[in-house]
Amino acid sequence: MAVAGYSRPVLTADLVRLYPTLFHTAADGSWPTIREHGLLSTKGLLDRWEVEEPTRRELLTTVRARSTVLEHPQHGKAVVRDQGPLHEPTLSERLDGLSVQEWLALLNERVFFFLRRDRVMELVNARAYRQKPCVIISVDTATLIETYEQSIELARINTGFARPNVPGRRSRATFAPIAAYPHPAREDPSATRPTDVRELTVIGGVPDIMRHVVRVERVVDGEITLLT
């Protein structure tokens, strides 16, 4: 489905022009694992690490209050990050046509990228995360879309954030393919237009992440160190 007045190539080119670099945050120490196995969704990570029930069900169907370290005899350690910004009672009230478990399934099947560096820095410098070292992976928008466009969906909100004082409904329609996204033509990205893109998601993950990486940084208490 295309937006009236726009063709898919125009929308895609506009997205690449406005947001040439995408940003993903990962747990501290996770870069070697990501480099070897790719950038996996939570579901993909549990599959690769052969996580069994009931741990698997708990990680996929409940809001994760804390990060969980997985261990595998061949793959070593991996981290499933917490979902601290998801306040479950608020999330439940804001969902249209979905249960909390169904929303979590949508989140757990994909990986997430911010389209603006300032949004990433807001997250890593937030009070809840500032004292937790993390990794920022910057990737090339053009090559990622060229490879994964059929698996990419966009959202105008931070889909992993739900707090009582932040408005916003959520439904299956929160995620939309590039060709169906109401993306206005303009010269510069806007932080205020409701139709601007907040997240780019890739269903199933990015197993060939190294083809797209521009830069990898480690952030500790606001200090940034270049890893790659």
- pTM for this prediction: 0.91
pLDDT for 33-52, tens place per residue? 999 999 999 999 999 999 99
Q: Residue 33: inside a domain, yes or no?
A: yes
Q: Residue 147: inside a domain, yes or no?
A: yes
Q: Please tell me the predicted confidence (pLDDT) of residue 4.
A: 42
Q: Residue 1: inside a domain, yes or no?
A: no
Question: Residue 192 — very low, low, confident or very high, per pLDDT cuts 50/70/90?
Answer: low
DSSP string for 30-84: -HHHHHHH-B--HHHHHHHTTPPTTHHHHHHHS--SS-EEEEETTTEEEEE---T
Q: Residue 80: inside a domain, yes or no?
A: yes
Q: What are phi and psi of 85, to 5 degrees?
A: -70, -10
Range of the domain at 220: 8-176+188-226
Q: Residue 145: inside a domain, yes or no?
A: yes
Q: Residue 181: inside a domain, yes or no?
A: no
Q: Residue 3: inside a domain, yes or no?
A: no
Q: Please tell me the predicted confidence (pLDDT) of residue 126.
A: 80
Q: Residue 27: inside a domain, yes or no?
A: yes
- Structural domain count of the chain: 1
